[in-house]
Chain A
């Protein structure tokens, strides 16, 4: 399609240029990033992915980073939950209080909304996907770990097997699961269990296993494992995913 030159490159007046520049140069406020990471439960996250590397590597690295952050979030789960509960009592200007509920509340009925149906799935349009508020909040960090690209290496973790290997193993399982290949996911998870008997991402692996079992038709096994998981980790950031996978 023949596209016209952007107006900013041939403005009709200085005023027009100034207005276009104002719109194009808008950036998030200095505190927005911190608030957003906090709202996602991702502050104080420490992984080995450097920002520049993440930016350069595109979505595949970003996907790997997801799991990296998931791992960190698991470790800091005990911190994340109180953070989210703290947010529940934080006034305006700080990270949003009921983020998912608010997102789900966005009506899809306006013209702008009806024409903005998603390419692949409907964003923020299906309240059913939003678990109860606290659980959602707690579940966000692990679910959204893909998002973080800023990181440092945890010195305590450096003596253990590389976290990246664990992440790759789980990423493989996740990919299989997302491609409706639960058998492949279970194979990847078995491999993970063999290779990392003391893996730091065992909780995430168990959640994926519950999902894979459920999707492979072993619903009763999945349900029992889910119930066991929830008994042990009722406040886990992964709890809502477990419930979702197992249909609880």
Chain B
């Protein structure tokens, strides 16, 4: 049995005293698994992803990522942990608009340890953007921007890859390209959690976690 990369027990997030975004969710993700988190808008998918990605802190429960209890970490500890263990892919890409594709990747390297242009160029070649390395995000299509985002998420060899609606802003052709990349990464053994509305993406995952009103479905698991 592969080791656990994510283990959440009774994970909850409440905003103020009334808004419960996530209510006692249990979740286990093993190394090399591809898990899709699905559910209607406002069901707590992004909140769950933010907690697992250490972008936010839970108000209740316990969360272990790569064997470390992140619920007991302070902001500085969470920042370090995120830098070293998590790769993030966003629906809006969130590339720095004035940096070229390769510089956007080098920035993630710089925050992690040291920028290495050769390695960053290799990462771009890997996602099929070897000819677009010096282009600014505004000169790239949505699909290309998302591939830069994937290369950036992978550059520091994170234990966990988190993607929030990675195909939400893409046309069909680009969606296919990005999903084939995810499939490739999964084959290589990367651990991936994807938040999606798209049933096609859900079908490609090993498992689907369905959320509704902040709670995982009865058993917490449904086979994809």
- A associates with B: no
- Interfacial residues, chain B to chain A (CB-CB below 8 A): none
